[in-house]
Structure 1
Amino acid sequence: MESWKVNLISVWFGCFFTGLAISQILPFLPLYISQLGVHSHEALSMWSGFTFSITFLVSAVVAPWWGSLADRKGRKLMLLRASLGMAVTILLQAFATNVWQLFILRGVMGLTSGYIPNALALVASQAPRERSGWAISTLSTAQISGVIVGPLMGGILADNFGLRPVFLLTSALLMVSFLVTLFLIKERARPVQNKAGQLSGKAVFKALPYPFLIVSLCVTTLVIQLCNGSIGPILALFIKYLDPGSNNIAFMSGLIAAIPGIPALLAAPRLGRLGDRIGTDKILMGALVFAVVLFFSMSFVATPVQLAVLRFLLGFADGAMLPAVQTLLVKYSTEQVTGRIFGYNQSFMYMGNVVGPLMGASVSAIIGFRWVFVVTGVVVVLNILQFALVLRKRNQLAAARREG
C-alpha cells in the first residue's frame, strides 16, 4: 500500500480518538464544575463558560505558531506533542479539587492543541493533488465519528461510574492516538528544506498566488463553526419550548444535536470525490446555500421531529463545508507553508467556537429562540456574498495571467 494511504488510515484513527476524547467531556463540564463546589446558577453558568472558552481562546492564539513549527520540524512531531500533551492535561483534570485548578488545566490544554490540523496538513502534503479532496474528506469523517460516539460513551460512563472516570478513559484514548502516531505514521526523512517557517505572516501571504482567497476561506471556516455553535446553547431550551409536556428533553436534545453527524459521515468522502471532479469551490458554495435554506426553515418548525429532519439534512452540508475549505487551502498554498496556513485556519475555527455560542445565547435572550436560526442564516448569506466576490476576483486574475 502506498505510504500516504497508510498515513491516512493511521491518522484517521488518531483523529477519531481525539474527536471522541474531547466531545465526551464537554457535555458534562457543568456537572463536573458543580461537583467541584460551584452551585449557584449564576456562578455555574459563568464558570462553565470560562472553562469551555479558555481552551479555544488559548488554542486560537498558539495555532499559527504550532503551524510554523510544523513546517520547520515536521508534522509527526506535532502530532506526538498534541496527543501526549492532551492525554496528560486531561488526566490531571480528573484529579482537580477546585474549579480554579480545572480552569488552569483547561487553559494548558489549549496549548497542547493541534492534532487534527496537523493530521490534515500531513495528509494534504502527501496525497496526490488530484485525490486531495477525497483524502481530506475521508479524514474529516474521523472527527465526525468521534463527535457522534463521544457524548454517548461519556454519558454511559458518567451515569454508571461517575464523572472522573470519563477523564481517565479520555486520557487513555489519547494515549492510543499517541502510540498510533508513534509507530504507524511515516513522514519524509526531513521536512522541506526552506525558510518558510521563519517567514513573517505577511511574507507567507505575499508568497501565495491568491492570498485574498486564503483569508476568505479562513473567514468561511469561522462562519461554519459559528453556525454549528450558535444553536448549541439554546437547543435543549428550544426543544422544551416546542414540546413543553415531554419527559425526555435530555434524550431528545442529545439525539437532535448528534443527528447531523450521520449524514455528514456518509456524505463527506463522496462530496470530496465529486469536488475533485467538478471543482471544490462549487461544492462549498452549494453547501453554504443549502445551509442558508435550512437555517431559515428551522425558524418555522413547530415540533421537535421537524427540527430533527432539518438538522439531519444540515448534516449533508456539514459533510461538505469544512473538508471543501481545507481542500481549497491545500490547492492554493504550497507544501512549504501548508502547516502555517492550516494553523491560521485553525485559529479562525477556534474563534468560531467561541463567538458562535455567545451569539446564539445573546440573540435568544434578547429577541427569542427562533431568531437565532434567522440571524445564523443571515451570517451565512453575508459569507456567501464575500466568497462569491473573492471567487470572481480569482477568476479575473487567473484569466489575466493566462493572457499575459
Structure 2
Amino acid sequence: MKADNIWKKNLFILSIAVFIAGIAFSEIMPFLPLYISSLGQFSHQALNFWSGFIYSGMFIISAITSPWWGKLADRKGRKLMILRASLGMAIAIGAMGLVTNVYQLFALRCLQGLFAGFVSNSNALIATQTPKEKAGQAMGTMASSVTAGTLLGPLIGGFLASVFSYRITFFITGFLLFITFIMSLFWVQEDNFVVKNTQDIGKTQDVIKQFKSPTLIFGLLLTTMIIQAANNSINPIVSLFVKQLVHSSGNTIFLSGIIAALPGIATFAVASKFGAIGDKIGTHKIIIAGFIAASIFFFATAFVQNTFELGILRFLVGFSDACLFPQVQTMLTKNSPADVTGRVFSWNQSAMYIGNIAGPLIGTTISGLSNYSMVFISTAIIVLFNLFLFKINVLNHLKDTRN
C-alpha cells in the first residue's frame, strides 16, 4: 500500500477508535458517585471524598506513568502502546462491574490510569505517519472524533445504566474498548518503524538535545497544562451557576447537561477546519486567536443574566477550544523529531492530566472564597497569562528560526 494511503487509512481507523474510546471513558462518569454509594453506607462527606478520590486517582497515576510509556512507545512502537492501552483498560474497566467495595474500585481506577494512553498514542502514531503539511487537519480530525465520543458518552452511559444496571454498563464499556483493540490490531499499520535498543533511544536529556527549540516544546507543554486547568476550573461550578441563574427553579440538571455539552459540540464542528487553516497560515496564529477569543468569552460569562446568554458564550468557548489544544498538538508534531514523538505526546498527556487535576481545585477554591462570576474572571486572567507566555515563546522560536 502506498504511504499516502497508509496514513489516510490509519487516520480513518483511529478517528473511529478514539470516538469509541471517548464514549467508553465518559459514559461511566454520570453514575460513578451513585455506583460508589451502592458499595456501602457512606455519609454525605464520605461519599464526596470517595467520589473525588476515585475520580482523580486515574489522572494522578497516568500523569506519573505516561512519560515511561512514551519512552517505551519510541522504542517498541506506538501501535504496540495502542494495543496495550486499549486491552489493559478494557480489562480494568470491565472488572469494575465485579467490585464489592470502594477499595477495589479505587484500585481498578488506578489500574486504568496505569494502562492509559490510548488517545495520546493514537495521536502520536498519526503525527509520525502524516505529512507535516497535513498535520493540522489530521490532529483536528482526531480531536473532533474524541470530542464527539466524549459528548455522547454520558448520554449513552445514563441510558445503559437505566435500562440494565451500573455493573452491566461497566461490562459494556470494557467491550467497547476491546473493539478498539481489535480495530487497532488488524487495521492500523505503523509504517517504517524500527524497534530500537534501550541505548538507541537515549535518556531524557538526550531527547531534549534533538529538539531544534527545547524552550518551544516545553513552553507548549506548559500551554497544554494551563489550557486544561482553565477549561476544567469551570466544570465543578457550571451546574451551581445554572441553579443560581434560574433561581433554583426549573430543571437545573437538564439545563446544566445541555450547557456543559455546548463547548464540545462547537469544538467537534470546527477543529478539523481550524487545523487545515493553520496548516496554510501558521498554526501559532490559530492558537493566538484562540487565546484572545477565550479570554473575551470567559470574561463576558461573568456578567451573564440568564442561561440563554450563558449557553451562547459556552458554545463560543468551544470555538476557542478548537483553536487551542488540537493546534498545540499540531505544533508539537511539526517541531518534534519523529523518533521521540511518543515521549513528547506522553509528556503532553501528563501536562493535560495535571491541568485536569488543578483546574477543579482552582475553580472550587475561588468560588468558595468569592463567587461564581469571579471564577470566570480568574479563568480569563489565566488565559491571558497563557497568551503572554505563548507569544514570548513563539516569537523567540521564530526569531531563532530566521537566524
- Smaller-chain TM-score bracket: over 0.9
Matches within 5 A, 1:2-151: 2-151=5-154
Deviation of 1:196 (Å): 7.6
Matched residue, 2:327: 324
Question: For the aligned residues, what is the CA RMSD?
Answer: 1.4
Matches within 5 A, 1:393-404: 393-400=396-403
Matched residue, 2:190: 187
Return the match for 1:166 from 151, 164, 169.
169
Of all paired residues, the percent bearing the same amino acid is 44
Taking the aligned partners of 1:102 and 1:245, their CA distance within structure 2 comes to 34
CA change 1:390–1:369 in 2 (3 A) is same
Residues 1:308 and 2:311 are matched in the alignment: yes
The more displaced of 28-37 and 69-78 is: 28-37
Matched residue, 1:265: 268
Matches within 5 A, 1:164-243: 164-188=167-191, 190-191=193-194, 198-243=201-246
Which ranges of structure 2 fall in alignment gaps of 5 or more residues? none
TM-score (norm 1): 0.96
Question: SS state of the match for residue 146, structure 1?
Answer: helix
TM-score (norm 2): 0.96
CA change 1:194–1:132 in 2 (3 A) is farther
Deviation of 1:191 (Å): 2.9
Question: SS state of the match for residue 182, structure 1?
Answer: helix
Residues 50-89 of structure 1, C-alpha deviations (whole Å, 9 max, x = no match): 1011100000011111111011101111000000001000
Paired letter, 1:13: I
Paired letter, 1:168: F
Paired letter, 2:113: G
* Contact in 2 for aligned 1:84/1:178 (Cα 8 Å): yes
Paired letter, 1:275: G
Paired letter, 2:270: A
CA change 1:243–1:23 in 2 (3 A) is same
Taking the aligned partners of 1:191 and 1:317, their CA distance within structure 2 comes to 38
CA change 1:196–1:370 in 2 (3 A) is farther
Return the match for 1:334 from 334, 337, 344.
337
Moved over 3 A (4+): 192-198
Deviation of 1:245 (Å): 4.0
Return the match for 2:253 from 250, 253, 257.
250
Residues 353-391 of structure 1, C-alpha deviations (whole Å, 9 max, x = no match): 111111111111111111111111111111111111111
Deviation of 1:228 (Å): 2.0
Deviation of 1:320 (Å): 2.0
Matched residue, 1:155: 158
Taking the aligned partners of 1:167 and 1:317, their CA distance within structure 2 comes to 33
* Contact in 2 for aligned 1:225/1:353 (Cα 8 Å): yes
Taking the aligned partners of 2:150 and 2:103, their CA distance within structure 1 comes to 27
* Contact in 2 for aligned 1:196/1:336 (Cα 8 Å): no
Taking the aligned partners of 2:196 and 2:161, their CA distance within structure 1 comes to 48
CA change 1:194–1:397 in 2 (3 A) is farther
* Contact in 2 for aligned 1:71/1:196 (Cα 8 Å): no
Matched residue, 1:284: 287
CA change 1:38–1:338 in 2 (3 A) is farther
* Contact in 1 for aligned 2:229/2:356 (Cα 8 Å): yes
* Contact in 1 for aligned 2:230/2:379 (Cα 8 Å): yes
Which ranges of structure 1 fall in alignment gaps of 5 or more residues? none
The more displaced of 243-252 and 308-317 is: 243-252
Aligned residues: 400
Residues 271-321 of structure 1, C-alpha deviations (whole Å, 9 max, x = no match): 000000000000011001100000001111111111111011111111221
Residues 221-241 of structure 1, C-alpha deviations (whole Å, 9 max, x = no match): 111111221111111111101
Matched residue, 2:386: 383
* Contact in 1 for aligned 2:227/2:325 (Cα 8 Å): yes
